[in-house]
Every structure is written in C-alpha cells, then in structure tokens.
C-alpha cells in the first residue's frame, strides 16, 4: 500500500467489503435489486436513477495517490516517445 500512496484511512479492506455483502444478503432489510455502496467510512443503499456521488472522506482517491500510481506509466511513455 505504501508504494502507491494508500493509507488505512483512504482504503477499504476485503473483510469490510465481505461483511457488507453478507449484510446485504442476510439482514432482510434490503429488497431484491438493491445496490449497496461500500466505502471506507460506511455503506449506503443507492437508488436506481440519479445517484449523487458520495461526498465524504474515504470515497475518493486522493490526487497524490493517483499521481503516484500514474508516475511509472508516464515515465514509460516518455521513454517510448524519445525513441521515436
């Protein structure tokens, strides 16, 4: 995680996703066809249309993480362009 700039505060674990999936299937409070969003700071049931994007911490990827993940790709592209 550290290599790509992720921290425990901005990631969600496989265990948390699995727990939410089990809750969706077994709790009985969700009807068939429910879409349940699972994020680092909790989950929410989504409607069918016009779903507002989440606006809470833990639901987006920080810009520095994106940049750190794209850096090796950009370096490779720059090298390839210089060979042309």
Domain count, the chain: 1
Q: What is the mean pLDDT of residues 14-21?
A: 91
For the cut 90, the answer to whether the pLDDT of residue 77 exceeds it is yes
Domain extent, residue 51, equals: 2-83
Centroid of chain to Cα 65 = 12
- Predicted TM-score (pTM) of this structure: 0.51
Res 1: pLDDT: 66
pLDDT tens readout for residues 39-63: 887 888 886 666 676 776 667 778 8
Rounded distance, CA 50 to CA 29, Å?
A: 22
- Of the CA atoms within 13 Å of residue 27, those in its CB half-sphere come to 11
Cα angle 36, 41, 43 (rounded to 5 degrees) comes to: 15
Write down the pLDDT at residue 29: 86
Give the DSSP H/E element, type plus range, for residue 36: strand 35-39
């Amino acid at each position: 995680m550290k290599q790509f700039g992720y921290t425990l505060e901005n990631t969600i674990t496989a265990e948390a996703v699995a727990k939410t999936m089990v809750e969706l299937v077994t709790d009985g409070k969700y009807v068939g066809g429910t879409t349940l969003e699972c994020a680092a700071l909790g989950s929410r049931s989504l409607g069918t249309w016009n779903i507002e994007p989440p606006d809470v911490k833990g639901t987006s990827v920080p810009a520095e993480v994106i940049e750190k993940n794209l850096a090796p790709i950009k370096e490779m592209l720059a090298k390839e362009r210089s060979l042309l």
